[in-house]
Every structure is written in structure tokens, then in C-alpha cells.
Amino acid sequence: MNEGAIFFDGNQILGPKFNLVPGEEYIKYLAQDFDLMPYITVAENVGKYLSNMYKDEKDQRVADLLAMVEMSEYADVKAKYLSGGQMQRVALARVLAVEPKILLLDEPFSHIDNFRKNALRRNLFAYLKNKQITVIVATHDSTDALSFADETIVLQNGKLIEKAPSKELYFNPVNKYVASLFGEINEIAVDDENGQTLHLLLYPHQLKVNSSGFIQVVVKQSFFKGNRYLIKSVLERQVIFFEHTAALEKESLVYLEVNNKVL
């Protein structure tokens, strides 16, 4: 996009050609390269831009932020000894040290293992919501959008194709591409009670096995997902995914019905 204007709180945000030093003080950006100083400690990295005039307040601020990203025990460790995920957590704390009005996050959890990621997400977004900091997150993880984002914007090939509250986007996707961002998706043609053909976008949990169902499929594979199985099946030549409580025999014939709430 080469045209247009960006406003925040009624004021236009000007680009680099209007500023000797690019950027705005109230906007912070966390890139994926972290840009930590390797030969100073974690605490020193987080407090780098905080004033030393009130040292007790500075130390408390650093301690609070390290606790939020679960890095308190590494406060006195030099950044060069950290793993990629640990560096990312420190970088998150540092970008919040001088509290911004707008925070831009680019794949903020990409280097963090699942064990840490879920707790960190909850801590971070609860903190940001409590502080009423506007956050724009670029992500490929649907959990970020569905669980924490008030509104989701979907881009495809550089164009905006959907913008809506996250829950609405999930239940009423504008097309198959949008629906596929939240997991496996089926596109199935069914006739309603008036004889009209509906093209439904259905997630696997919206289909269930029922002997009186009207969708006849052949089972091809069962994938264990913990509390359920994801079943891969075929309707003529179209692959259909649905969920079931147990694995199903390969090549068996089953009937599916659609959750009435979908129709």
C-alpha cells in the first residue's frame, strides 16, 4: 500500500520524510531480531531506557516486568548466554519498560516453546489490557487472535480481505481462506429444508457421526488428538475432516450429520 494516512487519537502519524529521527515516542515496536546488548545483564537490558534518577523505582519496574515474562531468575545473567526464547522474553519486557501507548508485535512468541508460550501469552495480554495499551500483533497463530484479540484483520496477498471481532470471524468466515486460518476446514454443499443448496464452511467439530446422517464418507485415517480423534475421510473425491471419540476403521463407511446450530 503506497497511499493513505494513519491517525491515532485524532492526530496523524507522520512518516520518515517528516521526521529527522523516524518514529514516535509513544509507539514501540518489537522486531524478531530482539537487538539485546549481549555483554550486559538481563536486568540492565530491560532497564536500559529507564532513568537512573529514581533508582528504587527503576529496579522495581525491571523486577515487575521480568516477573511478568518469567525471567526473574535470569536478572543477573548476561544476555549472550540466553536461548532464543529467553531473549524474546527479555525483549518483550524491555519494550514495555517505558510504557507505550501503542505496541507493535511481530510474531512475539515465535521462539518460545509451548511450555512457556501459553503462560506468557496470558500474562502479557492481561498486562496490556490492564494498562489499556493498544496492541497490533502480526501472527500466524490462531490462538493469539481467538483468545486475546478484540478484533482480527486478515490479509491475503497484501490485501485486506476481512476485519471483524475475532469470535465473529471464526463463526462467520467470509471465505474458505479465512476459515482455514483457524484449523482444518470443510466446504460442503447441503440442501436446506426449502430445497436450496447451501455451501457450508464447517470445522471438524461441527460434523458428527450419526447413522441417520445424510453425508456418506469413507474413513481413510484417524489421528489421535488427546481427548478426541481427528478423522480424515473422503466424500467422492473430496477430503472431509471430522472429530470422533474413538479411532475408526480404515475404509469403513460412516454417515455424518451437521450440528443443527450451524444450519
Is pLDDT at 72 greater than 60 in this prediction?
yes
3-state SS assignment for residue 175: coil
pLDDT tens digits, 100-116: 999 999 988 888 888 88
Would you state the pLDDT for residue 263? 44
CA 66 to chain centre: 22
Q: Which CATH architecture has domain 185-258?
A: Beta Barrel (2.40)
With a threshold of 0.85, does the pTM exceed it?
no
Q: What is the mean pLDDT of residues 22-51?
A: 88
User: Hey, do 18-149 and 185-258 end up sharing a CATH topology, with the first three levels equal?
Assistant: no
pLDDT tens digits, 182-221: 989 999 877 667 777 778 899 999 999 998 888 899 999 9
**Residue whose C-alpha is closest to residue 242's, from 31, 213, 133, 23:** 213
**Domain ranges (residues) in the chain:** 18-149, 185-258
Would you state the pLDDT for residue 1? 55
Would you state the pLDDT for residue 213? 84
pLDDT tens digits, 231-256: 999 988 899 999 999 999 999 999 99
Q: Which CATH number fits domain 18-149: 3.40.50.300, 3.40.30.10, 3.40.190.10, 3.40.50.920?
A: 3.40.50.300
**Neighbour count for residue 66 (Cβ, 10 Å):** 22
